[in-house]
Amino acid sequence: MYSIGVDLGGTNIVAGVVDDNYRILATAKCKTNAPRSAELILEDMATLSREAVKKAGLSMDKIAFIGIGSPGTCNTETGVVEYTNNLDFNNVPICRIMHEKLGLPVYIENDANAAALGEAMAGAAKGADSCVCVTLGTGVGGGIILDGKIYEGFNFAGAEIGHTVIIKDGEPCTCGRNGCWEAYASATALVRQTKEAMKRYPASKMWQIAGSLDSVNGLTAFDAMRAGDEAGQLVVDKYMEYIACGVTNMINIFQPEVLCIGGGVSEEGETLLAPIRKIVEAERYSKYSNKQTKVCAATLGNDAGVIGAACLGR
């Protein structure tokens, strides 16, 4: 059985054809180009789906269903995206519209939940009954699997872990609150923190690495740190403290078998994970338990959302 998984992100849209062994056979991708209308974004999703099927050497009649991972509150019973703060989606009936465009059964889930399902089925949490998957991207996404099932909450708005506050009255968040984990631990936040540090430290190597404030990305501070730059080290150390604060909260609440961290920043591997584990070990509630949560990198990378979405109808 083949299925299509669509990962709708704040920056990119990716559609992939996935087989029974959770292998992606082909993908098609474009920029989300938000903010723009849901109608235009859904048309792109349909076009990318057809393109991915063609690239896989298949026809649409070989596809059993399409699964979509979307930001925000996704009502999996009605197929409606009720709200998302990173895209201008309010009560958008994605499943109905995509069914009309492609003629396939359509399933929807929050994008971070879909990524967590992907990691649980075929990635870092494979074989675990419970896991929390944290995605550090444009925002901080979270997916929670408990007893082998996606935790959605009674109103499908559960697991918005990025919008838990770690600093009261702190930085403004796109959700309307201040001090959210997302406002400190997302890749977007890291870019902001890096730029702020560059302004404070005009002799920092971050200027040489980035060239200008407009060219700063999530690697700038890490690259400067590796070059022995003190200001870069300060940015990275503080950023890891922010991540570890939220990770410790998630472990204290859910005590999952696995907590995996994904997103572009996670490609730093042990440079990122080792300091985070050290902080978590010192601060977690269950210090003396014989069973401890495994904190690791997600293994599917950008494929997690596509694979997870392609599992929604299985």
Residue 215 has a CB neighbour count (10 Å cut-off) of 9
Does residue 211 belong to any structural domain of this protein? yes
Tell me the CATH number at 74: 3.30.420.40
Domain count, the chain: 2
Asked whether residue 90 falls in the same domain as residue 175, the answer is: no
Distance CA 14, CA 68 (A): 10
Residue in the block written with tokens 């991972």: 69
Does residue 124 belong to any structural domain of this protein? no
Which residue positions in the chain have pLDDT lower than 70?
A: none
- Does residue 105 have a cis peptide bond before it, meaning omega lies within 30 degrees of 0? no
Does residue 67 belong to any structural domain of this protein? yes
Asked whether residue 235 falls in the same domain as residue 148, the answer is: yes
Asked whether residue 291 falls in the same domain as residue 152, the answer is: yes
The whole domain housing 9 covers: 2-119+303-309
Distance CA 293, CA 118 (A): 19
Q: What is the pairing mode between strands 73-75 and 24-31?
A: unpaired
DSSP 178: B
Query: Residue 28 forms beta bridges with which residues?
Result: 15
pLDDT in tens, 47-77: 999 999 999 999 999 999 999 999 888 999 9
Asked whether residue 216 falls in the same domain as residue 193, the answer is: yes
Q: Are 229 and 103 in contact (CB under 8 A)?
A: no
Distances (CA, A) of 124 to 23, 77, 80, 184, 314: 15, 28, 30, 25, 20
- What pLDDT score does 263 carry? 86
Q: What is the pTM of this model?
A: 0.85
Which residue stretches of the chain are H helix? Answer: 38-55, 94-102, 111-122, 182-185, 187-200, 205-210, 220-226, 230-254, 270-283, 303-309
- What pLDDT score does 137 carry? 86
